[in-house]
Amino acid sequence: MERIPVLRMGSLVLITIQVDMHDKLAMQLQDDVTQRISDWGSTGVLIDISSLEIVDSFIGRMLANIAGMSRVLGAETVVVGMQPAVAITLVELGMSLPGVRTALSVEAGMELLYGPGAGIFSGQGDDRSEA
């Protein structure tokens, strides 16, 4: 069955959505993300939607659901890479994705979660200690 890959990057869960989503795929993704957060003890979820040409209320709801579920499991979600035309359309549609943090790029999303410098793949917190 078709599936959206859910990758582990340190304490992050990284998801890149590149296909046209249908219901089953979206439901599967919600299951997979929550399972991975729980398995890996992740504290952040980055969802890259730069390949998505539209976000309708169904996908918007899925993003909000994932953010909500992740938060309950102790992980913050940042949705990154939304195309400008998608942003214009979403707001006109009436959805401004309340409760979902967003950033322009994966790097900016990592910095939002872990502070400046996190976006340059400096690895886990240990590498950055001065001691």
DSSP symbol at 54:
-
Q: Distance between CA atoms of 116 and 28, rounded to whole angstroms?
A: 33
Does 54 help bind other proteins (rule: CB under 8 A)?
A: yes
> For residues 15-34, which are near other proteins according to CB under 8 A?
20-24
* Contact pick of 39, 41, 56, 72 for other proteins (by CB under 8 A): 56
Does 126 help bind other proteins (rule: CB under 8 A)?
A: no
Region from 36-44, 67-75, 81-89, 108-116 binding other proteins, contact rule CB under 8 A:
81-89
Q: Distance between CA atoms of 29 and 7, rounded to whole angstroms?
A: 12
Q: Distance between CA atoms of 12 and 50, rounded to whole angstroms?
A: 18
Q: Which of 6, 46, 2, 40 is nearest to 23 (CA)?
A: 2
Interface residues with other proteins (CB under 8 A)? Answer: 20-24, 53-58, 60-61, 83, 85-86, 88-90, 92-95
